[in-house]
């Protein structure tokens, strides 16, 4: 007869196994990173630097983003490492704060678009019928209008506030996320385990969260990186046109516009925010390419 006092409770076994599972996941992640190509490492390092700069912008910037500290277009060097802009604000400080504003708003917009588009795409794939047709045709109508022009029109009507910018861009970009999530989910909803969950009486949110979403995560994660780049570039373009992030908030797109006159005199200052935009875009694409190759199952 087995002594029950020596049999640990099931909850204790699960709790004891949790740290080992976490260590196993961490070791697999580190093993994958060690095998990553140089381009992926370059992208990861650049993204980490941008995130660090965004979080600690007030500590890294020598001045406030709106503080007038010198004359208009003061040259590089001395007190102002990268000179000043057309109003006498420190360019280095505005570049640092621009990372927080531009990247932060683009990240929030992309997150909102994935929550909205992903949820509706999964709902359309699972439900089918008139719900799928209604959502799909609505998305087709929105996608038939050029995104930048549509955003310009809506921002002109509603006003170029940060909240309006995030909501408008998220709704417009959610159409692309909807198409992808619906497409990949349609290949999963026909599986036996999804049908078994339906027969058990599981609700739609449970099926979406537990049965379908884990099986379509790789393409969605890769799409998140690509969509972030598109949103990031679109917000910068809107700011360059005067309908994105509004002054005096530092933003890389508006900084290019405000200092564009310096190019005529051979000054590369306007290229600094443009280079920051290009560097982040290329870095994110390097990481996305590596992730897609890793999750595709292809081997060199």
- pLDDT of res. 29: 67
Ramachandran sector of residue 2 (left: φ over 0; alpha: ψ -120 to 50; beta: rest): beta
- The alpha carbons of the chain give a radius of gyration, in whole angstroms, of 24
CA–CA distance, 103 with 231 (Å, rounded to integer)? 10
268: its two tokens: 């590369």
Give Dmax over CA atoms of the chain in angstroms: 92
Residue 171's contacts (CB-CB under 8 Å, 6 or more residues apart) are 113, 116, 142
- pLDDT of res. 51: 92
Sign, CA dihedral 7-9-11-16, equals: negative
Ramachandran sector of residue 52 (left: φ over 0; alpha: ψ -120 to 50; beta: rest): alpha
CA–CA distance, 168 with 116 (Å, rounded to integer)? 12
- pLDDT of res. 13: 45
- pLDDT of res. 296: 63
- pLDDT of res. 26: 65
Phi, psi of 151 (to 5 degrees): -65, -40
Q: Report the chain's terminal Cα–Cα distance, integer Å.
A: 56
Q: Report the DSSP beta bridge partners of residue 80.
A: 77
CA–CA distance, 110 with 226 (Å, rounded to integer)? 10
CA–CA distance, 145 with 182 (Å, rounded to integer)? 20
Helix (H) and strand (E) counts in the chain: 13, 0
87: its two tokens: 């109003």
- Length of the chain (residues): 300
53: its two tokens: 């700069």
6: its two tokens: 């020596």
Per-residue pLDDT in tens (0 to 9) along the chain, 300 residues: 445 445 545 544 444 455 666 666 666 666 767 778 888 899 999 999 999 999 999 999 999 888 888 888 888 888 888 888 888 899 999 999 988 888 889 999 999 999 999 889 988 888 888 888 999 999 998 888 888 888 889 988 888 888 999 999 999 999 999 999 998 888 888 888 888 888 888 887 888 888 888 888 888 888 888 889 888 888 888 888 888 888 888 888 888 888 888 888 888 888 899 899 999 999 999 998 888 877 765 444
Q: Report the DSSP beta bridge partners of residue 77.
A: 80
Whether residue 126 contacts residue 204, with contact meaning beta carbons closer than 8 Å, is answered with: yes
Residue matched to tokens 């900084």: 255
Whether residue 194 contacts residue 211, with contact meaning beta carbons closer than 8 Å, is answered with: yes
CA–CA distance, 202 with 191 (Å, rounded to integer)? 15
Nearest to 235 by CA among 148, 131, 114: 148
Please give the angle made by the CA atoms of 48, 49 and 50, to the nearest 5 degrees: 90
Residue 204's contacts (CB-CB under 8 Å, 6 or more residues apart) are 123, 126, 127
């Amino acid at each position: 007869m087995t002594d029950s006092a020596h049999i640990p409770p099931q909850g204790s076994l699960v709790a004891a196994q949790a740290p080992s599972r976490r260590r196993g996941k961490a070791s697999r992640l580190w093993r994958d990173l060690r095998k990553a190509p140089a381009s992926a490492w370059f992208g990861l390092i650049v993204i980490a630097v941008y995130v660090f700069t965004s979080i600690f912008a007030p500590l890294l910037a020598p001045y406030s983003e709106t503080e007038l500290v010198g004359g208009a277009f003061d040259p590089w060097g001395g007190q102002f490492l990268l000179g000043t802009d057309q109003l006498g604000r420190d360019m280095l400080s505005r570049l640092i704060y621009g990372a927080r504003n531009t990247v932060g708003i683009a990240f929030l917009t992309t997150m909102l678009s994935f929550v909205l588009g992903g949820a509706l795409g999964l709902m359309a794939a699972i439900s089918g019928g008139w719900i799928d047709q209604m959502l799909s045709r609505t998305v087709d109508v929105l996608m038939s209008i050029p995104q930048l022009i549509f955003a310009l029109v809506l921002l002109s009507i509603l006003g170029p506030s940060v909240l309006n910018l995030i909501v408008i861009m998220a709704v417009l970009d959610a159409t692309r996320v909807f198409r992808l999530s619906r497409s990949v989910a349609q290949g999963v909803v026909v599986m036996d385990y999804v049908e078994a969950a339906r027969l058990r009486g599981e609700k739609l949110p449970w099926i979406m969260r537990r049965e379908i979403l884990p099986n379509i995560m790789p393409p969605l994660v890769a799409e998140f990186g690509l969509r972030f780049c598109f949103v990031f570039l679109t917000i910068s373009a809107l700011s360059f046109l005067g309908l994105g992030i509004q002054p005096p908030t530092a933003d890389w797109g508006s900084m290019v516009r405000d200092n564009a006159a310096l190019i005529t005199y051979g000054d590369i200052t306007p290229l600094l925010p443009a280079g920051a935009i290009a560097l982040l875009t290329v870095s994110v694409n390097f990481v996305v390419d590596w992730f897609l190759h890793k999750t595709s199952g292809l081997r060199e």
